[in-house]
Amino acid sequence: MKARLSDIAGHAGVSEATVSRVLNGKPGVSTNTRQAVLTAIDVLGYQRPERLRRRSAGLVGLIVPELENPIFPAFAQVIEAALASHNYTPVLCTQIPGGIHEDDYTQLLMELGVSGMVFVSGLHADQTVDVSRYRALRRRRLPVVFINGFVEGIDAPFISTDDLASTELAVGHLAQLGHRRIGLALGPRRFVPSHRKISGFRDALHRHLGEQDADRWVECTMFTVEGGGAAAELLIDRGATAVVCGSDLMALGAVRAIRARGLHVPRDVSVVGYDDSMLVAFTDPPLTTVRQPVQAMGTAAVRALLDEISGSPGPRAEYVFRPELVVRGSTAAAPPS
């Protein structure tokens, strides 16, 4: 589509003459004005002239487990934007059941000559998986960064949400509301975040309620709407008046299952999600959840990767980010005994 000077000028808030100077590489335009014109060109869907296109500093592979759970597109958007701001071109690889395996994506990215890779909640988060694949990448000196799923013995930066703190925040909130029978609905136990959340849940129940047998209040199913519903059913059968979930999708499934029983959220059963995914503030009821600091984590992951690429890596350690409790309408005082 041919660029119209009037459209670009109107969007950028400058004169057509200024737009012409930018497009033709003429002097006399400030850096901020030049950037405003280039941004207007991009936003309006015009193609920049060849000499004004940014040259990529290289490709970076970004591997995420899926896009159905809104938290993964959120991570991808932050990471891609941060990479693009440093002139790196992200290559997004999405795994789906029965689709391309993470190892195949990794091999493809290596063949493309990527400068590095970011793994978000990948196979590294599964404690039953052989992690020698990642050691092999490091032996080839490929810069890699992992998000959510710490593994001992991998020479790379790990960016994690504090899963222990997340369950403490949720249980502490519900205990203050008078709940004494609090359940935890999670995906499979083999994943590092699940394992850590269970540990934090045990500590929180003991600290706030004196509970000695926390495991009877834990149900591990799948990180899906259906998994959340199934776990909630089992926990309510045991008398739970509140359910803490391992994802917002699970929490939405829990709400659905509770309502299917003719119960009310939050009057009869309170529900807490995890992630603070886009739109959960607008569900019915708006979801109380524990927010992952996606912006900070994604930015930190890119910064760590760029340091690795530049040959000035920081400490090869796990960087743990504290989550935040966001109280909305799905939690309330415990019902009368």
Give the pLDDT confidence score for residue 56 in this predicted structure.
65
pLDDT at 188: 96
pLDDT tens over the chain, length 337 residues: 556 888 889 888 999 999 988 888 888 888 888 888 888 887 777 877 777 766 667 899 999 998 889 999 999 999 998 998 888 889 999 987 777 899 999 999 999 999 999 999 999 999 999 999 999 999 999 999 999 999 998 999 999 999 999 999 999 999 999 999 999 999 999 999 999 999 999 999 999 999 889 999 999 999 999 999 999 999 999 999 999 999 999 999 999 999 999 999 999 999 999 999 989 999 999 999 999 999 999 999 999 999 999 988 888 899 999 999 999 999 999 999 7
For the domain 58-161+293-321, what is the CATH code? 3.40.50.2300
DSSP structure string for 156-182: S-EEEE-HHHHHHHHHHHHHHTT---E
CA distances (Å), 171 to each of 198, 228, 331, in order? Answer: 12, 17, 11
**Dihedral (Cα; 65, 66, 70, 75), 10-degree rounding:** 40
CATH no. for 5-52:
1.10.260.40
Distances (CA, A) of 86 to 33, 60, 111, 210, 295: 20, 11, 22, 51, 16
**What is residue 228's three-state secondary structure?**
helix
Beta strands in 114-251 (DSSP E): 116-120, 144-147, 158-161, 182-186, 218-220, 242-245
Q: Domain 163-292, CATH 3.40.50.2300 — does that match?
A: yes
Question: CA dihedral defined by 38, 43, 45, 51, rounded to 10 degrees?
Answer: 20
Beta strands in 165-237 (DSSP E): 182-186, 218-220
pLDDT at 219: 98
* pLDDT for the residue 2: 53
pLDDT at 151: 93
Where along the chain do its domains lie? Answer: 5-52, 58-161+293-321, 163-292
Query: For residue 290, what pLDDT is reported?
Result: 98
d(CA 91, CA 58): 10
DSSP 8-state assignment for residue 52: G
Neighbours of 307 (CB within 10 A): 15
Pairing of strands 288-291, 324-326: antiparallel
CA atoms of 48 and 57, how far apart (whole Å): 18
pLDDT of residue 212: 86
Residue-level pLDDT at 316: 84
Q: What is the pTM of this model?
A: 0.84
- Fold equal for 5-52 and 58-161+293-321: no
Task: Extract the tokens encoding 142.
Answer: 């490929």
pLDDT tens-digit map of 71-118 = 999 999 999 989 988 888 899 999 877 778 999 999 999 999 999 999
